[in-house]
Structure 1
Amino acid sequence: MSDQELFYLLALLKVDGVGDIMAKKLLTHCGNAESVFKSKLNQIAGIDGVGSVLLNNLKDKSVFEKANKELEFINTNNINVSFFQDENYSDRLKHCFDSPVLIFSAGNINLKNKKIISIVGTRQITSYGTEFCKKLIEDLAPLDPVIVSGFAYGVDIVAHQLAMDYNLQTIGVLAHGLNQIYPKTHKKYVAAMEQNGGFITEFWSTANPDKENFVRRNRIVAGMTEATIVIESADRGGSLITANLANDYNRDVFAVPGRVTDKYSQGCNDLIKTQKANVLTSAADLVYILNWNIENKGKTVQKQLFVELEPDEQKVYDFLLKNGKELLDMIALQCDFPIYKISGVLLNMELKGVIRPLPGKLFEAI
């Protein structure tokens, strides 16, 4: 995108009354942002939602000065900008009707052909939540997923740290501009995250981490990912907003169950009870429901020589060796395992390289 195109887009987004949805209507009608400003007012008066107030606001010349200052910040700080129609814009977010027209980013972010999940939850994460998150990311690491979160205290920063521990790409979605970091105590993680991942935001350098910005931020967390995982949450909180947004976008939602007496399990338990989230007890649940195939970062998975199998794994392996390709449900039935258990057994066997998944939830011995 040229500086001129970006300049007019920035100016359009600064017009009072022009949000992401209205901006997309104007761009579709006029072709580009420059044409919006240069069109006669009667040419755009017929657009749905455009009234006399907005038409008058389009005459405001101060938006060009604001756009010029932001463009200078972008160029000076080598900020990456993605337009919602660009190839480098998140594919999933692109299909959300209220997605940002522009996304600003810093770091080394690559979303193409990636498994992308968001992990969210309370800022008061407990030892239970921390241990579950650690086990989850450890088990998912062979699939090389991108871990998205909000870079806040609690679950967010734990998820980011663990992703970095396992050399996974991780992205922090910010509720403010890229000229600052909030909370300030998390500045120590910035350099490491930008090495393999980084930060994205829809907010300009003039935006502060105000309360309402976090709600807007949550729709990006939900919209750009294949699934949203709620580790822990009280009966109210931003993570529940993210989960509801993910449901609105027809994304999968997972929640970690907990004791009914635990404050920070109430939100998760309610999501499960109201059927707004799948129960998440292990990485195997996620792999099964999302129908992910086990990959080893582009390398062919081969059976290890003299691999040791648990008794349950040996039973499944012998069954597949004898019967060839079989459906997950049939494996569970013939091996006399409940579905929730067979999912975990199959995942462990895939990681050991003794079976492989096939399309249609089929599995075969290697």
Structure 2
Amino acid sequence: MNLLMTGIWGRPFGFTIPIESPMKKENCLATKNLDNLRKALKPVLIRRTRAEVIKELPPRTTEIIRITPTEEQLIVHNQNKRIVSQILSKRYISEMDLLRLQKALLICRMAANSTFLVDKQPPGYSSKLEEIDMLLENLKAEKDRKIILFSEWTTMLNLIEPVLEKHKLDYVRLDGSVPQKMRLSLINRFQKDPECKVFISTNAGSTGLNLQAADTVINVDLPWNPAVLEQRIGRAHRMGQKRPVQVFLMVTKDTLEESLLETLSSKHALFLAALDPNSEDASIDLASGMDELKRRLEILIGKKPVEPEDKSMLAQVEDEAQMLAKKQRIENAGGQLLSAAFNFIDEMFPKQEDTEEINQMTGTFEKYLAGCMNRDENGQLKMTFTLPDESALHSLAKSLAKMVNIGAQKSSH
């Protein structure tokens, strides 16, 4: 705003001082004078809320389905929840701690869906899949029912697809791997084909899509951000919708998902306080930096953990963090080494044009290697393959060492 309307805040840092000002109150940062912020936004911000257009929209109902997890799901969840508690009990949280914290929270959320998301060991344990099975059994009884089903993870969609096939429900799927040019045809099929009953998607389909043909939205899991949840629902409950919309929120009991419902509500309250001209809130306290992170996570995991008395357990946590960081460094270095080795092999062969035969063989090998690869939670490609025995590992290491040595000798000449 200051760029477009120079001087609107009066002086440099004019926004920070009157609106977002440090306060000596439990080491928190406070967002205050929100009434001034709303006045400043009023001339440039046009915001039509759902409350303002509700008369133009059909009714929307939300049902929370609370699901009892399997024992196997709880074991995986609680193991990682303890890791979160141990890290939060520390006075100083290092970068390695943050890495472990992120992974532990991710596993907690995955376990609430299915243990298969965590360990990839079939058949996987998931009471949520059983609930989806029963829910679809009831919903498909209504002839004109059309459903949008969201999950954070593509692997969960993979597990849901056989359930849809079991019920003989025709569906389309949209996730991050679907090319942009193909997305419109998927949307059109769901919108116009009466036989296509279900649209399954990750958050890649939560924005920018008009899916008014649907009258049901199933959230298999909850996102961190309340805006994402509202965007999911908004794919069906939007202008042009003629039928009432039914929303299902699937929450696994005794897991982070239950607490996530409360944090989603509090985040949504802050959003409304800043943008709603009729809001009566004048200030909202927000803890800064690491304090806010710890506070929010303590809400998620329940009672604030105390400093552990078992020093050996604390040492074990530190060792695991170092081993995790070391493993990642080794994996990255190993990938670079293999890449360099294969580039060197390519250089050793005489230069030749890419013939049709070479291109065909390259495509065959590339297809085979792609089957050995998957992506981690950060989107990085990872290759896994099985060696026949330990001697094969030694042979591979020896061959790489020889190639590196030859390359070094060649470069020195």
In the superposition, the TM-score normalised over structure 1's length comes to 0.24
In the superposition, the TM-score normalised over structure 2's length comes to 0.22
Higher share of residues assigned helix? 2
Query: Which structure would you say has the larger Rg?
Result: 2
More relative contact order in 1 or in 2 (CA 8 Å, sep 6+)? 2
